[in-house]
């Protein structure tokens, strides 16, 4: 089945919701930060240490949340600008290795799954859907977090911000994820929290749903997704009449030992 047709504004949103309710995707591609995980505390810790090393004040976690998205260099650029010390793009890029050193050391200290994320991942897994991650976070730390949170086994593809030549909202990362999952654009749903997720999905011809409380400075309803969820637990019931009645007996994926 083709993903929902898209019109403008409220009419588009209503049409998208109705079409999704009658559609069963073969695959779900997830964004990570702000969608499946709450990572702002650890990202803020690394950013603030970097700022302090350059004699700048740090930021409260709530102020860092809307700075997240677009990759590490963008976070650095936004963090220094918010501290009143804007940097040139090349200077932000030069600080990426140091940020990653700081962040990798603390990336799993306080990062955790958002409510209902594990249940929804398991529900889709047992329903036989293929699942992937498409994030602008670097691949190595993405895999570290997935392993630590014991959810890596749910995903047949993991595409990070350094896995392809471009980051979201360019469609290439999402297209790469779909290729690794073995599905076409009309068979997949992208689930994210930002304009970058909507932009990548639109450019790739993929239907897109957003969570309401992610890392974006604007209301999710204003970003033009096919569906904005009240909370993540509502997603399975929004698709094809709901997935609970379609569960299959399937071994759990291998998880990290406690």
Task: Identify the H or E element spanning 215.
Answer: none
222, with CB counted inside 10 A (0-12, 13-18, 19+), is exposed
Largest interatomic CA distance in the chain? 57
Between CA 194 and CA 35 the distance in angstroms is 9
197, with CB counted inside 10 A (0-12, 13-18, 19+), is buried
Between CA 252 and CA 110 the distance in angstroms is 26
Q: Which of 5, 31, 119, 162 does the annotation list as catalytic?
A: 31
Between CA 202 and CA 119 the distance in angstroms is 27
To the query of whether residue 150 is one of the catalytic residues in this protein, the response is no
Determine contact, residues 186/1, Cβ cutoff 8 Å.
yes
Between CA 126 and CA 133 the distance in angstroms is 18
Encoded tokens for 151:
């959810």
> In 3-state terms, what secondary structure has residue 69?
coil
Encoded tokens for 14:
């209503």
Determine contact, residues 168/72, Cβ cutoff 8 Å.
no
Pseudo-torsion of CA 30, 35, 41, 46, nearest 10°?
40
Determine contact, residues 64/82, Cβ cutoff 8 Å.
no
Q: Which residues are catalytic?
A: 31
């Amino acid at each position: 089945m083709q993903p929902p047709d898209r019109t403008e504004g409220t009419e588009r949103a209503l049409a998208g919701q109705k079409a999704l309710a009658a559609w069963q995707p073969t695959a779900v591609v997830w964004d990570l930060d702000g969608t499946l995980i709450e990572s702002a505390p650890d990202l803020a810790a690394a950013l603030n240490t970097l700022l302090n090393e350059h004699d700048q004040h740090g930021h409260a976690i709530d102020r860092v949340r809307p700075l997240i998205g677009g990759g590490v260099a963008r976070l650095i650029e936004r963090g220094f600008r918010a501290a009143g010390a804007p940097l040139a793009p090349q200077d932000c890029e030069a600080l990426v290795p140091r940020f990653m050193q700081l962040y990798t050391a603390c990336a799993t200290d306080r990062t955790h799954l958002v409510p209902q994320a594990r249940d929804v991942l398991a529900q889709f897994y047992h329903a036989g859907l293929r699942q992937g991650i498409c994030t602008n976070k670097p691949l190595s730390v993405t895999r570290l977090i997935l392993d630590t949170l014991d959810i890596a086994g749910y995903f047949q593809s993991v595409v990070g911000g350094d896995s392809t030549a471009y980051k979201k909202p360019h469609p290439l990362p999402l297209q790469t994820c779909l290729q690794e999952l073995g599905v076409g654009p009309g068979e997949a749903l992208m689930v994210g929290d930002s304009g970058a997720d909507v932009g990548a999905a639109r450019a790739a011809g993929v239907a897109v749903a957003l969570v309401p409380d992610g890392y974006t400075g604007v209301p999710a309803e204003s970003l033009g997704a096919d569906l904005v969820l009240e909370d993540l637990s509502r997603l399975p019931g929004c698709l094809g009449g709901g997935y609970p009645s379609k569960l299959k007996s399937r071994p759990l994926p291998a998880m990290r030992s406690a």
